[in-house]
Amino acid sequence: MKSEQKISILFVCMGNICRSPTAEGVFRHYVQEAGLAERIETDSAGTHAYHSNEPADRRAQAAAERRGFSLADIRARRVQANDFERFDYVLAMDNDNLDLLKEQADPEQYDKLRLFLEFSPAQEVEVPDPYYGGAAGFERVLDLVEDASTGLLEMLKRNHRL
């Protein structure tokens, strides 16, 4: 018997304008394609409030659009204390942000905290920050995010019988 409870995923990077909105947009697209939008909720946030309420970086948006993903409706926000209660999975883009999340979360919430690339078959552990680089960095982020999004969706289908 399938559970009807909604599964919630929060993607986290530092400023919430490059990596985490890309992850949110790509994963949301995959969820919609799988017909699971009523069962899986997505959001993204940053460990810092550098860009609160700003849209995703224009380079991230352009790279995503070239692959058919939209980040247009995503606005940057900072991780809030209630996010650790609200979300089933809080997925960091790198170890630095994972450490910052662990500082904010209660120890009993640590099981929700993971690196996003744990769901990818790639050998990389972290999604590199493309902010100070060129267009190739945003393409690399998309490659990693697409792989991890596929793996995450497969795990959710399997573990939550979706």
Residues with catalytic roles: 13, 19, 129
What stretches of the chain adopt beta strand conformation (E)? Answer: 7-13, 40-46, 89-92, 113-115
The angle, 0 to 180 degrees and rounded to 10, between the axes of the packed helices 19-33 and 58-66 is 30
* Residue 76 DSSP SS3: coil
Which amino acid, 135? Answer: A
Q: Are 61 and 55 contacting, i.e. CB atoms less than 8 angstroms apart? A: yes
Q: Is 53 left (phi over 0), alpha (psi -120 to 50) or beta?
A: left
